[in-house]
Amino acid sequence: MARRRAVGPRRSTDAGRERPGPGRAFSLAAPRFQMKLALRDRTLDLAEPVVMGVLNVTPDSFSDGGLYAGVDAAVARGERMAEEGAAIVDVGGESTRPGAAPVTAEEEIRRVVPVIERLVARIRAAVSVDTSKPEVMRAAVAAGASMVNDVRALRLPGALEAAAGCGVAVCLMHMQGEPATMQVRPDYARVVAEVREFLASRARACAAAGIARERICVDPGIGFGKTPAHNLALLANLAALGADGLPVLVGVSRKSLVGIITGRAPEDRLAGSVAFAALAVAQGASIVRAHDVAATLDAVRVAIALRRAGTGDS
């Protein structure tokens, strides 16, 4: 009862009409997506879904203060994620949470570059940079990053050209509005169709800019300008989002959607987050972005085993 109220009433324009019928919901069929992602200098095999670890290098992430202490702690955390099985470690120097203070490109570079340089030298996992700024993309790739994860899907001036020039993989994420205001009144007529069309159009823009299709993955942007109903509709229809079969990346880890459903604070959202990770894989996600790599990978492995059994491939 409480759970139903917490998720909120269905909006007349929400995605209820787009929900799959009972036969398709939670299908464990193997997705028909591109099964690999070309990074800078190697190919990430996505025949089985992988985990991307979240490594925030913002002042509030490492409370021990001081630039060097912060770098050491971030590198240690990134190494731990790689040991736990992350295929990618995503390094970000600017928070995209509503209300977070924006930072300059210089500051973002100061935060992420030393961490990327040291991580690339120490781990076999790929390192991506979570940024929208072209200058940061170039500096991060010069430091060794092999993927750009952009919550603005390369829409800032110069971002498309920077990513194309870097010769790396890109994650194109959907966001309605900007982080500061995106949760004020998210509005869609048909959320799944609109997000799918946005991602497809950004993939076309990438192709026109010279980014090879094998370098692109797409992401519905859970929590970025969406109500809980929008988020759930997208998660229930992930297989429909991979524009032309592009791999789908999903991040739900510790997000407010988990809190709204479970009633738990961010630090207590592990179980809800890993449940979503497994279900996202069951719905066709190829990459799951998560803070808790070991637990998420376990959940992903469970989903893979079930999928294999479902396809008679065990």
Distance of closest approach, residue 257 Cβ to ligand 9MG, in angstroms: 10
| Token digits of residue 51 | 């985990």
| Residue 29 vs 119, nearer CB to ligand 9MG | 119
Residue 261 contacts residue 6 (beta carbons within 8 Å): yes
Q: Provide the pairing of β-strand 147-150 with 169-173.
A: parallel
By annotation, the residues acting in catalysis are 255, 289
CB of 105 to ligand 9MG, least distance (A): 17
DSSP conformation class of 35:
-
CB of residue 222 to ligand 9MG, shortest distance in Å: 5
Q: Which is nearer to ligand 9MG, 205 or 306 (CB)?
A: 205
Which of residues 1 and 239 has its CB atom nearest to ligand 9MG in the complex? 239
Give me the residue whose beta carbon is nearest to ligand 9MG.
251
What's the min distance (Å) between Cβ of 128 and ligand 9MG? 9
For ligand 9MG, the closer CB: 53 or 221: 221
Give, rounded to a whole angstrom, the gap between the first and last alpha carbons of the chain. Answer: 39
Which residues form the interface with ligand 9MG (CB under 6 A)?
92, 96, 130, 149, 151, 171, 173, 219, 221-222, 249, 251, 289
How many angstroms separate the CA atoms of 146 and 148, rounded? 7
The first and second tokens of residue 55, run together, are: 């490594």
What is the rounded CA–CA span in Å between residue 158 and residue 80?
Answer: 34
Q: Rg of the chain over CA atoms, in angstroms?
A: 18
How many Å apart are CA 248 and CA 173, to the nearest integer?
Answer: 10
